[in-house]
Amino acid sequence: MQKHTQVNIAYLIFAFFAIMLVQQWWHQVQTVEVVPYSQFEKLLQESKISEVVVSDQTITGTLKSPQGGKSTVVANIVQPQLADRLSKYDVKFTRVYQSTFLRDLLSWVVPALVFFGVWFFLVRRFASQQGMGGFMNIGKSRAKVYVESKTGVSFADVAGVDEAKAELQEVVEFLKNPERYGRLGARIPKGILLIGPPGTGKTLLARAVAGEAGVSFFSISGSEFVEMFVGVGAARVRDLFEQARQKAPAIIFIDELDALGRARGSGMMGGHDEKEQTLNQLLSELDGFDPSIGLVLLAATNRPEILDPAQLRAGRFDRQVLVDRPEKIGRLQILRVHAKKIHLAEGVELEQVAALTPGFSGADLANLINEAALLATRRGADSVTLNDFTQAVERIVAGLEKRSRVLNESERRTVAYHEMGHALVAMSLPGSDPVHKISIIPRGIGALGYTIQRPTEDRFLMTREELENKMTVLLGGRGAETVVFGHLSTGAADDLAKVTGIARSMALRYGMVEKLGYVSFDDERPNLLGVPMAQAREYSEDTAREIDIAVRDIVHSAFDRAVVILTRERDVLERGAKLLLEKETLAEPELAELKAAVRPA
């Protein structure tokens, strides 16, 4: 790249000096000396002029002894008697009609060519730096081609998604032995769509398929198809499939398919824009290629709800593979894969780490391993301990410790009672997750303290009683402030938001309010990103009022329940808050004594 830049600069310098030399020559050739007509007469009398050219308005005379190679031009109207006088002095003269067409043309064309050359050079350099490849390559695909030795990924490097690997193993077998799968007339799916939340390993799975099969791997992001020029994306789709056909058997992988596969007609500008033309070309290519030649299309997305339905029909993306967040066993497998890169201390049980990380994706677990190794390195240890993993989990979930944020004594007492209220309510309610750690050290952006519960198992279904217990635990902090201080603070803002969300889901989605009936008032479909989408309300104002009342009653009932528990356990609350103010952080062994003193609700 550096050598190519030096060559371009050398060409630019050479062109600059060449232009300067031509300009100097042109200036010397075209420069004339303007003299008065009287001086021209004098030159004639002195026989210093050898030739005269007469035009409409000027007389150009060539000197017998040129002075610097310049001509003498007289800007005067030729008089009728001039010809006789020229003959008298034996001077050769010619009457011409001067044409300025070529001169005028060059005066317009030459500057335009110079400016276009400079502009073209700068644009080519900018395009090269941006990876556009120049104007001649604007319709070319920028897919990166990987072969088995370059992917460096196999199914052994992918853990926690056994079902997805089993689905894709069939693709590998087909690419290795297509005759076996075609003997009964079966065909491999044309397209396979990997669906899952961010960080679950969809791209890693696609590269593992190519690594296992040992075929060419064409990888491109959906956003790279779409350009500012209409039709460029469609040209790149055609070019990508043409390249893959030439290297078949091969795998085409399109990451972030939703960037070009959004449902047509959903944009603000209507149809026929660049994205829709690109999508139409992709659908056409899916219909046109024969999978028996060993060409398989893999795509990944975390927003399947916005994809165009035409992509998902049979004959295009025939198979959809869910790559979800791993369960506890899957998390353990992922931790074992990534733990090979670090030095674990003796006695570290990765099962305990897997139990502390419900809801973590594969990327989150890889980050957890790295954070734990960094913490151990920072304190100068020779190996990574379980405490490093615990601190890494807290850092990822709650944020970085803010020991520089100093709270006054009143705020520290409020935070201590607030967090101990959460813990005691959780210890009292049956079925609640065990309390793992309590701290009043500020973390993250706004957390002045935190209480961490460790789930004993992954849960996929919850009853109304379990949801009510969860809300009661969340309101334990506000309840402790009410019981001890008799006033409210802003520390429960996040708890209230979570409780309100659970209560609204119970009323709108789960049909858990008898007064409202077993009706769902929420048409929102859950998405993999976890971001709620705006929707239109499809119920009356009276129903909306009943929903608001039901949500308020559910929250108030949970709060009253938390207050009753904490009033009954006031002594344990005082003792626990005092201990927390002294040590700032309490772990499970230190919480065992408090738990033994709490009576079940």
What is the per-residue pLDDT for 132?
47
Confidence band (pLDDT; 50, 70, 90) for 1? very low
Lowest mean pLDDT among 14-23, 126-135, 305-314, 357-366: 126-135
Q: How far apart are alpha carbons 591 and 414 in whole angstroms?
A: 19
How far is Cα of residue 368 from the mean position of the Cα atoms in its chain?
21
Q: How far apart are alpha carbons 48 and 26 in whole angstroms?
A: 26
Which tokens hold the place of 65? 């002894």
Q: What percent of the chain has pLDDT over 70?
A: 72
Cα dihedral 541, 544, 550, 552, rounded to 10, equals -100
What is the per-residue pLDDT for 454?
78
Q: For the residues 344-353, what does the mean pLDDT come to? A: 88
What is the per-residue pLDDT for 262?
75
Token pair 């210890």 in the structure block, residue:
427
Lowest mean pLDDT among 111-120, 536-545, 546-555: 111-120
Q: For the residues 555-578, what does the mean pLDDT come to? A: 94
Judged against a pLDDT cut of 60, whether residue 84 lies above it is answered with: yes
Please tell me which residue, 445 or 211, carries the higher pLDDT value.
211
Judged against a pLDDT cut of 60, whether residue 530 lies above it is answered with: no
Q: Which of 419, 468, 481, 569 is catalytic?
A: 419
Please tell me which residue, 378 or 248, carries the higher pLDDT value.
378
Q: For the residues 92-117, what does the mean pLDDT come to? A: 65
Measured CA to CA in angstroms, residue 599 lies from 162, 171, 429, 437 at distances of 43, 57, 9, 20
Confidence band (pLDDT; 50, 70, 90) for 102? low
Confidence band (pLDDT; 50, 70, 90) for 517? confident
What is the per-residue pLDDT for 592?
87
Which residues are CB-neighbours of 15 under 8 A, at least 6 positions away? 117
* 89-126 CB burial, b ≥16 within 10 A, e <16: eeeebeeeeeeeeeeeeeeeeeeeeeeeeeeeeeeeee
Which residues are CB-neighbours of 31 under 8 A, at least 6 positions away? 70
pLDDT per position as a tens digit, 301-341: 888 888 888 888 877 888 888 888 888 888 999 999 888 88
What single-letter amino acid sits at 420? Answer: M
Please tell me which residue, 122 or 174, carries the higher pLDDT value.
174
- The beta strands (E) that lie in 284-338 are given as 295-301, 317-322
What is the per-residue pLDDT for 30?
54
Residue 248: count of CB within 10 angstroms of its CB: 17
Q: How far apart are alpha carbons 594 and 573 in whole angstroms?
A: 9
Ramachandran angles phi, psi of 587, nearest 5°: -100, 180
What is the per-residue pLDDT for 417?
93
Judged against a pLDDT cut of 90, whether residue 220 lies above it is answered with: no
What is the per-residue pLDDT for 223?
75
Q: How far apart are alpha carbons 236 and 224 in whole angstroms?
A: 9
Please tell me which residue, 512 or 6, carries the higher pLDDT value.
512
Confidence band (pLDDT; 50, 70, 90) for 75? very low
Judged against a pLDDT cut of 80, whether residue 537 lies above it is answered with: no
Going by DSSP bridges, is the β-strand pair 317-322/191-195 parallel, antiparallel, or unpaired? parallel
- How many CA atoms lie less than 13 Å away from 252 in the CB half-sphere? 30
Decide if 348 contacts 384 (C-beta within 8 A): yes
Judged against a pLDDT cut of 60, whether residue 141 lies above it is answered with: no
Judged against a pLDDT cut of 90, whether residue 559 lies above it is answered with: yes
Measured CA to CA in angstroms, residue 15 lies from 10, 22, 85, 125, 458 at distances of 9, 11, 50, 17, 71
pLDDT per position as a tens digit, 393-452: 888 887 777 766 777 888 889 999 999 999 999 999 988 888 888 988 887 666 788 888
To the query of whether residue 394 is one of the catalytic residues in this protein, the response is no
Judged against a pLDDT cut of 50, whether residue 196 lies above it is answered with: yes
pLDDT per position as a tens digit, 478-513: 999 999 998 888 888 889 999 999 999 999 888 898
Please tell me which residue, 140 or 376, carries the higher pLDDT value.
376
What is the per-residue pLDDT for 236?
78
Q: Average pLDDT of the chain?
A: 78
Confidence band (pLDDT; 50, 70, 90) for 133? very low
Which tokens hold the place of 581? 């103010």
Closest CA to 298 of 207, 365, 379: 207
pLDDT per position as a tens digit, 17-65: 677 666 666 655 555 666 666 677 777 777 777 777 777 667 777 777 6
